[in-house]
Amino acid sequence: MVQKLDNLRESPSQTAGPYVHIGCTPNFTGIDIYGADLGTVMKTGPVKGQEITITGIVYDGTGTPLRDAMIEIWQPDAAGLFPSANETRGTADPNFTGWGRSPGDMDTGEFRFETVKPGAVPWPDGRMQAPHITAWIVARGINIGLHTRIYFEDEAEANASDPILSRIEHQNRIPTLLAKKTGEGDYRFDIHLQGPHETIFFDM
């Protein structure tokens, strides 16, 4: 017998279920044990860069909005630096958390983030990626959290040379990853779990 690899297996995922709010946004469902819900505020003071809002709805395969989802986003600041212990390239904007969490509205399903337009960050080989935000979606009926990215339709040049966007075979699906500009500083990013407009999800 050869030596054993004593690696462990990742814990299997299970659905967040219909009551994810109790654990992750308790104030949203009327439980006031902690102060504010985590991830509600991404800007803790004056921030550098362009302040933006991103709104959207998660739709199921029938076009029905999910009213029990939770969406999280993670992104760098306007200079492309992450407010993370693993960031070694510099110090991020101290007034920016980089992380947001939004329960969809209980009636409409709409989520909303008030954040800043992210700066670009490099691909592992040093090429720059187009500005993007990582998004993660959990809900009842989703067995393992879905990763995707929010790119910006008004960054056409950067998107065209982005290492991920340029390797996608079905280029007609790329619009599912682009936040649409609906006003000055306002973007719309709807997420489709299934159907002809199914969002591109990442094996992440």
Interaction between residue 172 and other proteins (CB under 8 A): no
Q: Interface mask (CB under 8 A) for other proteins, residues 68-107, using x and -? A: x---x-xxx-----xxxxxx---------xxx------x-
Our CA angle for 38, 44, 47, nearest 5°, is 135
Query: Contacts with other proteins: how many residues (CB under 8 A)?
Result: 79
Cβ closest to other proteins, residue 24 vs residue 78: 24
Other CB atoms within a 10 A radius of the CB of residue 157 amount to: 9
Instruction: Of 80, 104, 101, give the one whose Cα is nearest residue 92.
Output: 80
Interacting residue with other proteins among 19, 41, 161, 166 (CB under 8 A): 19
Cβ closest to other proteins, residue 26 vs residue 180: 26
Q: Interface mask (CB under 8 A) for other proteins, residues 123-152, using x and -? A: xx----x--x-x-x-xxxxxxxxxx-x---
Interaction between residue 43 and other proteins (CB under 8 A): no
Cβ closest to other proteins, residue 107 vs residue 184: 107
Strand 110-116, strand 51-59: pairing = antiparallel
Rg (CA), the chain: 18
Q: How far is the CB of 107 from other proteins (least distance, A)?
A: 11
Instruction: Of 196, 182, 162, 48, give the one whose Cα is nearest residue 112.
Output: 182
Cβ closest to other proteins, residue 38 vs residue 158: 38
Cβ closest to other proteins, residue 163 vs residue 181: 163
Interaction between residue 199 and other proteins (CB under 8 A): yes
Interacting residue with other proteins among 3, 14, 171, 172 (CB under 8 A): 14
Q: How far is the CB of 200 from other proteins (least distance, A)?
A: 6
Interaction between residue 31 and other proteins (CB under 8 A): yes
